[in-house]
Amino acid sequence: MSVKEKVGLFSSLKQDIPASIVVFLVAVPLCLGIALASGAPLFAGIIAGIIGGIVVGAVSGSQLGVSGPAAGLAVIVLSAITELGAFEAFLLAVVVSGVFQVILGYAKAGIIGYYFPSSVIKGMLSGIGIIIILKQIPHAVGYNKDYEGSLSFSQPDGHNTLTELFYMFEAISPGAIIITALSMIVLILWERPFMKKIKAFSIIQGPLVVVTLGIVLNLIFQGIPSLTLNSEQIVALPVAGSISGFFSQFTLPDFSQIMNPSIWIVGATIAIVGSMETLLCLEATDKLDPQKRVTPVNLELKAQGIGNILSGLIGGLPITQVIVRSSTNIQSGGRTKMSAILHGVIMLLCAMAIPNVLNLIPLASLAAILFIVGYKLAKPVVFKQMYKLGISHFAPFMVTIIGIVFTDLLIGIILGLVVAVMYILYNNFKKPFLFETDEHLKDGVLHLALAEDVTFINKASILNTLSQIPNGTKVVIDASKTINIDQDVIEIIREFETGATFRDIDLKVIKRKKRGVTNQRKVVEDLLNKAV
């Protein structure tokens, strides 16, 4: 069987169909919650989820990534709708953001995603896992003041992730707690090896059983006043009543605002923030992929752009790839992009045909599912592994986690990245040369061999080292193996060469043989193409 056949759309339907149903069940309340937080019509979140699944899923090169409305954009969307004065004007900005993303894709801007250190990406996954657990605890006991899908520490009601854990005691629901407890028992049992040996249980996903159980318990509890769930404790999908009513919920953008500068500013903002969030989630999803496939980043930007253009044209929210949905897809056994596409198809069909059935799903059931997702993202073993790698990896990892939990996703990533860069700069300062005592200090001559790539980052350490060489020393500065050297470093060496004559330093400089850096990636690609 060829590689193409293995990753074909229909090659893993046995795994993709159950995974798509689980992702759909998790995605529906997230879409509705993010729309609510964004100040947009609830159906706008469903539209974005459908487009993110079907359209972006089909165009994207990501086999396991799932796209939809993102919590990270909720604040931007809320302020943009207010600033632009109408939801229809905002939809035009979403279309513009999609155009910008397509341009970024063709400009090959996706390469930025490769510059995020592994420690930061792993910190992002663990941080999101922790925040998912913390955010779902109130939903698990029936307190639903914070919207589903929220990842920010501060909440619109003035509370935050931690204070919400205290306020939830004011509105504990026995019915929700029972559903959560039974759901957790089912999910934990489903993970046990002895359960996986039973064929029927290996086919039917635990989350499907949990949702079915939740619906049954919800119906039973309606006849028991002390256990009855209120409207805030169940999924609240808009009910159209008819097919024509369903399509009437779609909204067209206001193209008369196309010359409004604010439209273009909002569009550019959504494109930049959305692209960054997508690239980060894409990198994280690829790390979670059991097959370790690498997604074409520029194609992903184009796919997101196309998705945002279509979403804006029919009344949807901005779309990004979302790590909560993507990790749920992976943990549910998804193998190819068909799981993402099918989750969008199921969302479309259910929103049209059976919204009343979906509106029987307790949020407590979904909280139990997300508890498992969060735990698998933030397993204690990951912390142990990162600690063993040393402080230069563990520090950015922990800073990223703390930043995500106490601020939001992008700020946490930026903080972790800053710490990682500081360690890189520090390590460059400590080791400016390739130097081993036995090899580079012979016959009283100090040999300093420059590395292949010497940049301005090495400037301070090289200057510091050369200034400390005692007078009367014999020195050889060897740049024969250097491919690229920054002009700042060349000037430092020339100044040292001039000063050496006044310090009785016997200096010899071996100049580099190669000049400039060729596109080595292209050379390798050309060789591989010829080999094929």
Query: Rounded to whole angstroms, how far apart are CA atoms 267 and 77?
Result: 10
DSSP 3-state assignment of 118?
A: helix
Is 127:301 a contact under the CB 8 Å cutoff? no
Instruction: Give residues with Cβ within 8 angstroms of 366, minimum separation 6.
Output: 25, 26, 29, 139, 148, 211, 235
pLDDT digits (tens, 9 = 90+) for 179-226: 999 999 999 998 887 776 777 676 778 898 999 999 999 999 999 999
Q: What is the pLDDT of residue 1?
A: 37
SS3 content of the chain, % helix, strand, coil (to 5): 65, 5, 30
pLDDT exceeds cutoff 80 at 138:
yes
122's CB contacts (< 8 A; 6+ apart) are 287, 382, 386, 397
Mean pLDDT of the chain: 87
Residue 476, classed as helix, strand or coil, is strand
On whether the pTM is more than 0.85, the answer is no
Residue 507 DSSP code: E
The tens digit of pLDDT for each residue in 496-515 reads 888 888 888 888 888 877 65
Q: CA 333 to CA 331: how far, in whole Å? A: 5
Query: For residue 251, is pLDDT > 70?
Result: yes
Alpha-carbon gap, residue 307 to 341, rounded angstroms: 13
> In this predicted model, what pLDDT tens digit does every residue of 454-501 receive, in sequence order?
777 777 778 877 887 888 888 888 888 888 888 888 888 888 888 888
Distance CA 418, CA 420 (A): 5
Flag whether pLDDT at 434 surpasses 80: no
Q: What's the sign of the alpha-carbon dihedral 468, 472, 474, 477?
A: positive
Nearest residue to 423 via CA among 110, 118, 124: 118
Tell me the pLDDT tens digit for each residue of 266-305: 999 999 999 999 999 999 999 899 988 889 999 999 999 9
- CA 346 remoteness from chain centre: 24
Within 10 Å of residue 104's Cβ, how many Cβ atoms? 20
Partners of residue 198 on adjacent β-strands: none
Maximum Cα interatomic distance, the chain, rounded to a whole number of Å: 98
Q: Which residues pair with 508 in a beta bridge?
A: 476
**What pLDDT was estimated at residue 145?**
87
> How many C-beta atoms surround the C-beta of residue 525 within 10 A?
11
- The Cα 197–Cα 202 span in angstroms is 7
One-character DSSP codes across 360-375: T-BHHHHHHHHHHHHH
pLDDT at 437 over 80: no
Please check the confidence at residue 451 and state whether its pLDDT lies above 80: no
Please state, in angstroms and as integers, the Cα–Cα distance from residue 190 to each residue in 59, 78, 182, 186, 204, following that order: 34, 40, 12, 6, 10
Q: Is 204 helix (H, G, I), strand (E, B) or coil?
A: coil
- Is the pLDDT reported for residue 9 higher than 80? no
C-alpha gyration radius of the chain: 28
What's the confidence (pLDDT) of residue 32? 92
Alpha carbons 125 and 63: distance in angstroms, whole number: 18
pLDDT higher than threshold 80 for residue 442: no
pLDDT of residue 4: 41
